[in-house]
Amino acid sequence: MALGSLGFRSSGLQIPMATSLSSPRCSSKSTKAIPMPPLNPRDPFLSKLSSLAAASPDTLLRPPADSDTPPYLDLFDSPKLMATPAQVERAVSYNEHRPRKPPPDLPSLLLHGRIVYIGMPLVPAVTELVIAELLYLQWMDPNQPIYLYINSTGTTRDDGETVGMESEGFAIYDAMMQLKNEIQTVAVGAAIGQACLLLAAGKKGRRFMMPHAKAMIQQPRVPSSGLMPASDVLIRANEVIKNRDTLVKLIARHTRNPIEKVKQVMRRPFYMDSVRAQEFGVIDKVLWRGQEKIMAETPSAEEWDRRAGIKVIDGM
């Protein structure tokens, strides 16, 4: 399967983005090229992954001993990331069963770890690639889990402008529900709108979130109508209402909350940090890496005042 051609630059590292994942059952000559969406060079996860691939590529080809931890998340705490990145050697051959060298581009490296990474808003090019990778990983091995890493603002941008139709998120969701593989979801940045639905749709008990990631659910937005006739504007508004009701039902199903409660909190943008997302049922576990103990041992504000000798005056 050809993953397309793309250039990526991060932290002084330039990796040629061209590879071919070959298989005895699949010929690259007869396989259609999958268009690659642009990778965000400022994405913290991809930047650190590329640095680690340059500094110590062998560590990425060895699966973690702890199967309870999704792959590659240990790179956030890896001291090797401070090393000066070097040019990644181009792979001579890349077999899906026993790769001798790391693949020459980040999408192939992620696929080697059975990771599908959503690092952009859900536009058609992203949806096409994500679904293709999900189907490919199921074809490779329908029994191994797939890790869906999410850092996306859904079908909107950071400023709230609509960039994709709600059907983009529903398409990925439906593909996830049809796969035979267990899908574990991890929020490594932001999971907003439809991306939050994908986060909650992972296998129960295997939905994770980084400590400082954010989740948010909100009502779908009406696309710009421009000079559209009034009757067409009404048709679009009715379609957005249907999408909202569908989104409410799906989020209620996966978070195990009543539909009325989800509809109530979605009247306005409902932001959740990792702890609140766990309480609401979007995720099952926060990947603290020992920070839970640190936070538990942190004194409360009243205890800090007592130790400092500050007396609280009534009425103040």
State the CB neighbour count (10 A cutoff) for residue 189. 20
Identify the CA nearest to 78 among candidates 103, 102, 60, 101: 60
- Asked if 121 and 155 touch (Cβ cutoff 8 Å), the reply is yes
For the stretch 214-258, pLDDT in tens is: 999 988 877 666 677 888 888 888 888 999 999 999 999 999 999
Position 302 scores a pLDDT of: 73
- Asked if 130 and 138 touch (Cβ cutoff 8 Å), the reply is no
* pTM score: 0.66
Position 242 scores a pLDDT of: 92
Position 102 scores a pLDDT of: 54
> Which of 6-10, 226-230, 257-261 has the lowest average pLDDT?
6-10
Alpha-carbon span 265 to 268, nearest angstrom: 7
Catalogue all structural domains in the chain, each as residue range(s) with its CATH number.
2-290 (3.90.226.10)
> Which of 41-45, 62-66, 158-162 has the lowest average pLDDT?
62-66
Mean pLDDT over residues 172-201, rounded?
94
Backbone angles phi, psi at 23, to 5 degrees: -150, 150
> Which of 36-50, 112-126, 144-158, 243-257 has the lowest average pLDDT?
36-50
